Amino acid sequence: NAKKTSTAETADTSKKSKYLSQPLISEIYTADPSAHVFNGKIYIYPSHDIDAGIPENDNGDHFAMNDYHILSMDSINGKVNDHGVALSVKDIPWAGRQLWAPDAAFKNGTYYLYFPVKDKQDVFRIGVATAKDPAGPFKAEPKPIEGSYSIDPAVFTDADGSTYMYFGGIWGGQLQRWNNGKYDANGSKTDSQKENEPALTAKVAKLSKDMLTFDGAVKDVVILDQNGKPLLTKDHDRRFFEGAWMHKYNGKYYFTYSTGDTHFLASAIGDSPYGPFKYQGTFMNPVQGWTTHHSIIEVKGKWYIFYHDTQLSDKTHLRNVKVTELTHNADGTIALIEPMKK
C-alpha cells in the first residue's frame, strides 16, 4: 500500500532539494541567528521577521521587527523549541523601532542579550537586557550602552575571560554617519563615498566585567589585503558591510562578516581579538535573499554555521534560519559553502 506521490509533492521536493539545508522552523520567520551552547544545549538568538507592510528601501525600513523569540535544540538535528517572546520593543524604555540582529553571552550567573534598535530619534544604538534563563524573558537596561551605535552586536569571550563586542553595519545600519562619536543625520545613505580610501570598518570594544558597559575606547576592526593594505571602499566583494562574528580556531581569531550588497560571507584572520585581520576569502556564496548573516559555533568537536535565507517566503524581509556544517581547511582558511545546489 505504498503512498502515491502527487505532482505537487514532487514539485515541492524538487524545490527543497535546491537548498543545501532546510529551515529550522517554519511557524515564524527568523533571521540573523547568533548561536551559542549554554548548559550543553544549543540556543539560537535570531531576529523575528514580520510583514509590517512597509515598502522595501535601501534604508531597510521593511525590516520592522518588534520582538525576539529564542530557539533551542538539544542537538544539531534535534527538535527545535520556540521559547516565545523573550523581549519586546515596547518593554525597552528608550527604543523607537526596528529590533535587528541580536547576540547573547553568559557571565556572572547571568545571561545577557545584546540588541540593536533605533532610539526615539531614529538612531541605531545597542542595548543590553538580562535574564537568569538563556531563553529569557529578558529585562532591558533603562538606557543603551554608552558609546554604542549602529547595528549587529556579536559578543565573543576569550580564553582569559575577557569579552569583546564587535558591531557595525553600513547603509541602513548607519555606521557611515558616525564621525568622532557624533551622528550626522544628513550623512551618506550608503558608505563613506570615498571610493579609493580605506573602507569603513566594523568596530570592537571590550566589555566591562559587569557586561553592561564598554571598558575603554571603541576601536576599528581593520581588514588588510594580501599586501598588508586596508581594503578600500570600492572593493565591494571583500570589504565589511555588516553581520560581524568572531570565533577562535587553533589559536587564531577569525573575524567573519557579510559583504552586504555583494552578498558574500568573508573571513579574515588575526593574532589578537583587536586584529588587524588578514583577508582570507569568501567562505559562503550568496543565499537566496538580499541579506546574509551568520554565526559559527563548535558543538561536540564539529563546527557549524547558522545562517538564513528566504526559502519559505521568497521575500527579502521574511527569512528563515538554517544550519550546516563548516570545515576549517588545513591551511587555516574556511572551506567554501554553496548554500544553493547547482
- Per-residue burial over 303-320, b = 16 or more CB atoms within 10 Å of its CB, e = otherwise: ebbbbbbbbebeebbbbb
* Of residues 285-314, those binding ligand FUB (CB under 6 A): 291, 293
Residue among 12, 32, 235, 331 flagged as catalytic:
32
* Of residues 242-281, those binding ligand FUB (CB under 6 A): 242-243
Q: Which of 47, 148, 163, 201 binds ligand FUB (CB under 6 A)?
A: 47
Distance CA 237, CA 233 (A): 10
Specify the residue, 225 or 261, whose C-beta has the smaller distance to ligand FUB: 261
Q: Interface mask (CB under 6 A) for ligand FUB, residues 135-174, using x and -?
A: ----------------xx----------------x-----
Distance CA 121, CA 262 (A): 30
Q: Which of 29, 43, 45, 63 binds ligand FUB (CB under 6 A)?
A: 63
Q: Is 103 in the site for ligand FUB (CB under 6 A)?
A: no
Q: Is 32 in the site for ligand FUB (CB under 6 A)?
A: yes
Shortest distance (Å) from residue 153 CB to ligand FUB: 10
Task: Evaluate the omega torsion of the peptide bond into residue 137 and state whether it is cis, within 30 degrees of 0.
Answer: yes
Closest CA to 308 of 296, 317, 321: 321
Shortest distance (Å) from residue 314 CB to ligand FUB: 16
Based on the residue annotation, tell me whether 122 is a catalytic residue of this protein.
no
For β-strands 277-284 and 294-299, DSSP reports them as unpaired
Helices (H), the chain: 7-16
Are 208 and 215 within 8 A, CB to CB? Answer: yes
Shortest distance (Å) from residue 116 CB to ligand FUB: 7
Closest CA to 214 of 167, 252, 178, 254: 167
Q: Is 101 in the site for ligand FUB (CB under 6 A)?
A: yes
Specify the residue, 137 or 289, whose C-beta has the smaller distance to ligand FUB: 289
Based on the residue annotation, tell me whether 220 is a catalytic residue of this protein.
no
Q: Following DSSP, what letter does each residue of 95-123 receive, concatenated?
A: EEE-----EEEEETTEEEEEEEEEETTS-
> How many of the chain's residues bind ligand FUB (CB under 6 A)?
13
Distance CA 148, CA 150 (A): 7
Q: How close are the terminal C-alpha atoms of the chain, in Å?
A: 35
Specify the residue, 63 or 277, whose C-beta has the smaller distance to ligand FUB: 63
Q: Which residues are catalytic?
A: 32, 242
Site of interaction with ligand FUB (CB under 6 A): 31-32, 47, 63, 100-101, 151-152, 169, 242-243, 291, 293
